[in-house]
Copies of this chain bind each other. A is one copy, B any other.
């Protein structure tokens, strides 16, 4: 096997993979315990909440999340059926649609955040010093 990565590089990479996998499992588990929907739903609600007038075009929303365009269509279908958001025709462009959160969507967002954020605090933020957090943020931000 060629030495494409040295030991430090490889162990750092594996640490990233392991930490991510472990943390996401814990988050999904905590949400399920509280009978709350998966993290993807939170991401969509959060992206809409931050947006002007709580709404985004489908394509913009797809970019804010990890989903493909068709994957997003399906997820928005489910969330619309659950009453968490609505589709609105886009004024001036009859091809497109906006997704807009409903009151129920914003309420769910506020129920999910303590569970999501609490898990991140307990298992991630609380384990690291401010110096480490800064180093991690600055290093990983360079990836994108």
Contacts and interface: CB of A to CB of B under 8 A. Distances in A.
Interface in A26-57: none
A113 B1 contact: yes
A74 interface: no
A100 to B, nearest CB: 19
Contacts of A141: 15, 18-19
Nearest to A21: B66
Interface in A93-144: 110, 113-114, 117-118, 120-121, 123-125, 127-128, 130, 132-137, 139-144
Contacts of A113: 1-2, 4
A78 interface: no
A11 B121 contact: no
A120 B19 contact: no
B23 A143 contact: yes
A19 B16 contact: yes
Interface residues of A, number: 44
B143 A110 contact: no
Given A113-B2, A142-B128, A8 B121 contact: no
A143 B127 CA distance: 7
Contacts of A21: 66
A17 B132 CA distance: 16
A31 B118 CA distance: 36
Given A2-B113, A5-B125, A18-B141, 7 more contacts: A5-B120, A8-B134, A9-B121, A15-B136, A16-B136, A17-B20, A124-B143
